[in-house]
Amino acid sequence: MNKTTKKTAVAQKAGKAGRFSWLRLPAPAKPEPAVLELQQQSQQRLGFVRNFLKLPFGPGRLALYQGYMDRLMRGPDGELPPVERELLALIASVENRCEVCILSHGGALKKYGMDPRLVDTLCLAWRRADLPPRHHALAEFASKLTLHPADVDATLMGGLRAAGFSEAEIFEAIQVVAIYNSNNRINNALGMQPNAEARPS
């Protein structure tokens, strides 16, 4: 193997090792200012830049998409408590087998004080989890809307109403489940890998 061939092989191996999805497009060399701000926020909040924020979305798109999710999940004007928003996102992600989001939202629930053993059960077999009635209703709702969207009718909201949720809370629950089904599909289609820092130690 001559020097040129060897250098090419090493570069290819390094590129493959550093790849976090099946996409062959390179990450933007110079992120847009709005995306750079999102990356900085990720670094400050999590201690690392999420791989999703390195994807080559078209101009202006990533900031809009991620901005909506951030406002929905962590905005101060939410209808549902943050732990319930995270629970909805986790159940949708579990049903879709989205490894990136399962690790992310499972970790968030632990940070919000949910028993780590309960979170682990939710991630593996959520129907076995000993959830309070309100949270069980949310999990059932997220599961049904994720797995059987074509079968949804007006009765789907009945379980949430019976558990005491307001109409505004139900609408927010719908938005959370919907956006994370979108996010799960992007991750699954791209074969997105979780950041190494996001994996349990």
Residues 75-81 have a mean pLDDT of 96
Residues 68-89 have a mean pLDDT of 96
Token reading at 196: 């190494």
Residues 34-48 have a mean pLDDT of 95
Same domain assignment for residues 104 and 129: yes
Of the candidates 59, 146, 61, 140, the one whose C-alpha atom is nearest the C-alpha of residue 101 is 146
pLDDT at 198: 85
Q: Residue 99 and residue 139: Cα distance in Å, rounded?
A: 18
Residues 143, 52 contacting (CB under 8 angstroms): no
CB neighbourhood size of 63 (10 A): 20
Same domain assignment for residues 69 and 130: no
* pLDDT tens, position by position, 121-135: 999 999 999 999 999
Residues 145-172 have a mean pLDDT of 96
* Lowest-confidence segment of 44-48, 85-89, 187-191 by average pLDDT: 44-48
Evaluate whether residue 11 is within a structural domain.
Answer: no
At 172, the pLDDT band (50, 70, 90 cuts) reads very high
Evaluate whether residue 53 is within a structural domain.
Answer: yes
pTM summary value: 0.88
At 52, the pLDDT band (50, 70, 90 cuts) reads very high
Q: Residue 131 and residue 99: Cα distance in Å, rounded?
A: 22
Would you say residue 109 has pLDDT above 50? yes
**How many domains is the chain built from?**
2
CB neighbourhood size of 31 (10 A): 18
Within 8 A by CB and 6+ apart from 70, the residues are 38
Residues 138, 173 contacting (CB under 8 angstroms): yes
Same domain assignment for residues 95 and 172: yes
